[in-house]
């Protein structure tokens, strides 16, 4: 069993439904979130959507979304 786990780990196997978060800077995450909103204009997007679509930590996504709202770049519903 341990050997199989090691094999799957070495090839990057992920469990279905598992989110693997990126190690990403605040600025890069903000850029990706802004691009995501641009591509999904008019849609209701929340931090969980960002986490799932962009593999960004939800705490970081919330922080960035709050900042974008304060800057007037997005509007909370």
Residues 36-50 have pLDDT tens digits of 999 998 899 999 999
Q: Per-residue pLDDT averaged across 1-11, rounded?
A: 60
Q: How confident is the model at residue 13 (pLDDT cuts 50, 70, 90)?
A: very low
Q: What is the pTM of this model?
A: 0.74
| CB contact at 8 A, 12 and 44 | no
List the domains of the chain with CATH numbers.
Answer: 15-70 (1.10.10)
What pLDDT score does 16 carry? 59
d(CA 43, CA 51): 16
d(CA 32, CA 36): 6
The separation between CA 3 and the C-alpha centre of its own chain, rounded to angstroms, equals 31
d(CA 65, CA 49): 12
Q: pLDDT tens digits for 16-37?
A: 566 778 899 999 999 999 999 9
Half-sphere exposure of 4 (CA within 13 A, CB side): 1
């Amino acid at each position: 069993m341990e050997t199989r786990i090691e094999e799957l780990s070495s090839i990057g196997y992920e469990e279905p439904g598992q989110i693997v978060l990126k190690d990403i800077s605040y600025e890069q995450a903000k850029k990706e979130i802004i691009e995501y909103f641009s591509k999904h204009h008019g849609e209701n997007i929340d931090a969980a959507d960002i986490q799932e679509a962009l593999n960004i930590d939800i705490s970081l996504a919330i922080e960035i979304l709050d900042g974008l709202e304060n800057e007037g770049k997005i509007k909370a519903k």
